[in-house]
Structure 1
Amino acid sequence: MAARAFTAGPIAFDNTTTTAILQYNGNYTPSSSPSFPALPYYNDTSSAYNFIFSLRSLVSENHPVYVPIHLKKRLESTIAIKTFPCYPNGTCQGPNGTRLAASMNNISFVIPQRFDILEAYYYHINGVYKKNFPSFPPFVFNFTEDYPPLYLNTPKRGTEVKVLKYNSTVQMVLQGTNLVAGLDHPMHLHGFSFYVVGWGLGNFDKHNDTKNFNLVDPPFRNTAIVPRKGWIAVRFKASNPGVWFMHCHLDRHLTWGMDMAFIVKNGKSPQTSLLPPPPDMPPC
């Protein structure tokens, strides 16, 4: 087997090829040494995305697929690399001496200092978070153009969540942008796996792109890549009560603020409600 890493941005890793030998045991006749395969180039976007999004779920009697069809909540969120002004008397490495940041729907996530969101939610502690995470991008523009307006580069800071009713069916479109630095982003959701029902390059078109959604055998993931200058659409059922983090799985982007959280409310029974914290739970 041979593999090469992929990146849609500048090279930030060893871009050489890795190889491995897979050894089978059993009665078989070894073949002659295979020829080395022709691998796509490290930034061959077409080959990478066509392979990633060709994956399908295994559908059988033992592996049923439950793609949400009748949706209760539709969300769209931009994901973006942005900037803040540099610290006073500081030295920052962003464009024009700025400090690099990141956001979802123009909100750069702020991690609470005294209480975590789950603790604040369970004990009804005010002032830790707000329930105002937008269901739609607050600024609409050509998200994937090469030179977007500079005034969009600075996000707001906030600890914002989206509240979902128990068992609600959710569709979320994650739209990549080309602000400051257009990159692909592996977006990860805690507490759930989701179906990746659609993807595309450019700006998401709710009237036309939804016609090509795969609602039969889409891949079932908890992390999915949002293409550079593109989008993905995921669906899941909010059947796990609690507070669940969604973020870019590139640690640098996570710490810069490319995050948000879902609060899934309790169901109508103890079995569908959030458990209390254990008495021996250590503090953070």
Structure 2
Amino acid sequence: MQSKPYKVATMKRRSLPAAAAALTAAIVFFLSTGALPAASAIVEHTFVVSQVKMKHLCKETLVTVVNGQLPGPAIEVTEGDSVAVHVINKSPYNITIHWHGVKQWLNCWADGVPMITQLPILPNHNFTYRLNITGQEGTLWWHAHVAFLRATLHGAFIIRPRHGASSYPFPKPHREIPIIIGEWWELDLAQVGWNMAHGFLFYFASASTINGKLGDLFNCSGVAEDGYVLDVEPGETYLLRVINAALFSEYYLKIAGHKFTVVAADANYVTPYTTDVLAIAPGETVDALVVADAPPGRYYMVAKPNQAPLPDTQTPEYTTRGMVQYSNSNSHGAMQRSSRGAEEEGDGGPSGDVPVAPEMPDTHDTITSFYFHGNLTSLRHQRSSLVPVQVDERLFLVLGLGSICRKGQSCKRGDTNETILLATMNNVSFQLPAMTTPLLEAHYYHTNGMGTLQELPNRPPRAFNFTDPALIPYGPKEERLEPTSRATMVRRFRHGAAVEVVFQSTGILQGDSNPMHLHGHDMFLLAQGLGNYDASKDVARYNLVNPLVKNTVVVPNLGWATVRFVANNPGVWFMHCHYEFHLSMGMAAVFIVEDGPTVDKSLPPPPANFLTCGHDDNLVPDELYLQTKKSGVSWINGV
């Protein structure tokens, strides 16, 4: 069953609360941008979430998907449109859908985070998300905000300019193609999510994918898996909308014999940047132009994950590849594996049936990612926002791992089964409070339970050499820093506050990078660096003129990144690492943005038919809580 978009020229009739909310959002946008109202459409999709069997690597696996597809259906809209997505949950899991990077201006109710912004959609229940797409254009994506299930529940969300492709700030492409990098799992993903949240680690995917296909580096009984094939015409320009939907890995993407011109990232235009390799972490999107200017033939498109070098734990991570094939080149159906392997660069055009393979960065080459992100700057564009110069609040957030005792207050640390390993910010791991009302609803109605929240600390409880590689292995130095705690960490910001956050990666039990994602807002990436952040010298490096604007910022391996954002979108917004294992282990917090002084700067009430704890059509809170407990999966994971 395919998702069917419907476009109409006039607005549909709505209930009064929904119409009032939409009108308020429209007025705010037009007043703030000076834009004149233009004809818009309502785009409708139906998402049927169900389980189907898919066969790869000689094994049938039961996977949870939307409309029987992997990846799921793409949502394509024009800036200014409204979107209605009717989610019909025929899976055995509680589900929410998050619209990753969509600002949700005055519409936090539709952000799709279980028990943060809404009750989850229970099995055999339905829910409709209504989104207003204003002030954004480019490549975003949607995914389940359910631990690990986003590996199979995801798809592209493409916003085109209201004046058409001719208004792109780059040459109009011949075609636009989503390229979704993902992973293939042969495990029960919901169970893996529960296990990770409870300290049982070491679960890994079986393969990597491009647009759901494993490619010819993988085989079933000697027969190569199908790979993604992009057919191109000589001389034409193609816009690749690249999305990393993987759970665990940042990827390098290359096409043999071709270069990319990066023109956007996270639905924000960038100064055109030419490179032969893209670096893209989970949660990120990159728009890149590719000109089909190589000799006619076949060229491998290779996606290779990177990971931190030793002494970091080395995990199974898989390279995959598809094909770029010229329309007049020799094609005999299935892709064939190059006898030279995926690591060799062809010395010119293709030879016979052997496609050209690119030379890829080393698995442990993380500096290529550092320079790729550091070379991107914002394009001066009509939608460009000014960087806040004056800062109202500053946070220094140290990202790392830690542990709590499985039983009691005292236990043996280090390499022992007496502890549960957690991911932390400023030495605290996020957990949802013992309440059955979503935080957004409790915040809006000022109900009980908000008093149990703990303020996210401005800084870590102690200073140390955050990036000391000696902290990565278990040992006496690491064990002194390992003890941590769990809490529902929130940070409140007055409306309009300019906030600066320094994200500092650490070496505590790992030296990973951290793709940090903030819901409801974009962030200005002012600077990044390796080692420990030092304000006395690093502030001078801040780019306050044209910094990259992102919703997901990669904090480098054993390094730091500084961002600023304006807290002007009232609501309760999740902020977390987009590595799924870090999120399930608690590397998250909630940012609460208060209402402004006027109605048009305040969060409207929940829309009609919203899933609230008092809604007659839903289970009462106690029943909902007991059902979730019975399923054995925690609220933080959203199932």
**Structure 1 and Structure 2 fold alike (TM over 0.5):** yes
What CA RMSD, in Å, does the superposition of the two structures yield over aligned residues? 2.4
Partners of 1:207 and 1:258 lie apart in 2 by 28
Give the direction of change, closer, same or farther, for the CA distance of 1:23–1:272 in structure 2 (3 Å limit): farther
Whether 2:503 is the aligned partner of 1:174: answer yes
Count how many residue pairs are aligned between Structure 1 and Structure 2.
274
Tell me the CA shift for residue 249 of structure 1.
Answer: 0.9
The equivalent position to 1:115 in structure 2, one of 437, 443, 446, is 437
Give the direction of change, closer, same or farther, for the CA distance of 1:66–1:23 in structure 2 (3 Å limit): farther
Give the direction of change, closer, same or farther, for the CA distance of 1:63–1:220 in structure 2 (3 Å limit): same
Residue 480 of structure 2 aligns to a residue whose secondary structure is helix
Residue 132 (structure 1) aligns with:
455
Deviations 1:120-162 (A, max 9, x none): 2112224344352111222111111123442221212111211
Deviations 1:2-21 (A, max 9, x none): 43222225454443352431
Whether 2:397 is the aligned partner of 1:77: answer yes
After superposing the two structures, state which structure 1 stretch, 137-146 or 5-14, moved more: 5-14
Unaligned runs of 5+ in 1: 26-30, 89-93
Deviations 1:157-188 (A, max 9, x none): 11121111101111100111111222111111
The equivalent position to 1:103 in structure 2, one of 390, 414, 424, is 424
Aligned residue runs from structure 1 range 131-170, under 5 A? 132-148=455-471, 149=477, 150-170=479-499
Name the aligned partner's letter for residue 21 of structure 1. Answer: V
Aligned residue runs from structure 1 range 42-53, under 5 A? 42-53=363-374
Structure 1 or 2: larger strand share? 2
Deviations 1:58-89 (A, max 9, x none): 223x343421111111111111111222358x
Higher relative contact order (CA 8 A, sep 6+): 1
Name the aligned partner's letter for residue 42 of structure 1. Answer: T
The answer to whether the Cα contact below 8 Å between 1:6 and 1:48 also exists between their aligned partners in 2 is no
Q: TM-score, normalised by structure 2?
A: 0.40
Partners of 1:64 and 1:224 lie apart in 2 by 18
Partners of 2:391 and 2:365 lie apart in 1 by 35
The answer to whether the Cα contact below 8 Å between 2:511 and 2:557 also exists between their aligned partners in 1 is yes
The equivalent position to 1:68 in structure 2, one of 388, 398, 403, is 388
Tell me the CA shift for residue 250 of structure 1.
Answer: 1.6
Tell me the CA shift for residue 260 of structure 1.
Answer: 0.6
Name the aligned partner's letter for residue 86 of structure 1. Answer: R
After superposing the two structures, state which structure 1 stretch, 128-137 or 222-231, moved more: 128-137
Identity %: 37
Partners of 2:535 and 2:388 lie apart in 1 by 17
The answer to whether the Cα contact below 8 Å between 1:65 and 1:217 also exists between their aligned partners in 2 is no
After superposing the two structures, state which structure 1 stretch, 239-248 or 116-125, moved more: 116-125
After superposing the two structures, state which structure 1 stretch, 265-274 or 145-154, moved more: 145-154
Residue 6 (structure 1) aligns with:
306
Partners of 2:543 and 2:512 lie apart in 1 by 25
Name the aligned partner's letter for residue 372 of structure 2. Answer: F
The equivalent position to 2:378 in structure 1, one of 33, 47, 57, is 57
Q: TM-score, normalised by structure 1?
A: 0.87
Whether 2:15 is the aligned partner of 1:15: answer no
Residue 81 of structure 1 aligns to a residue whose secondary structure is strand
The answer to whether the Cα contact below 8 Å between 1:194 and 1:221 also exists between their aligned partners in 2 is yes
Give the direction of change, closer, same or farther, for the CA distance of 1:102–1:20 in structure 2 (3 Å limit): same
The answer to whether the Cα contact below 8 Å between 1:15 and 1:42 also exists between their aligned partners in 2 is no
Tell me the CA shift for residue 116 of structure 1.
Answer: 2.2
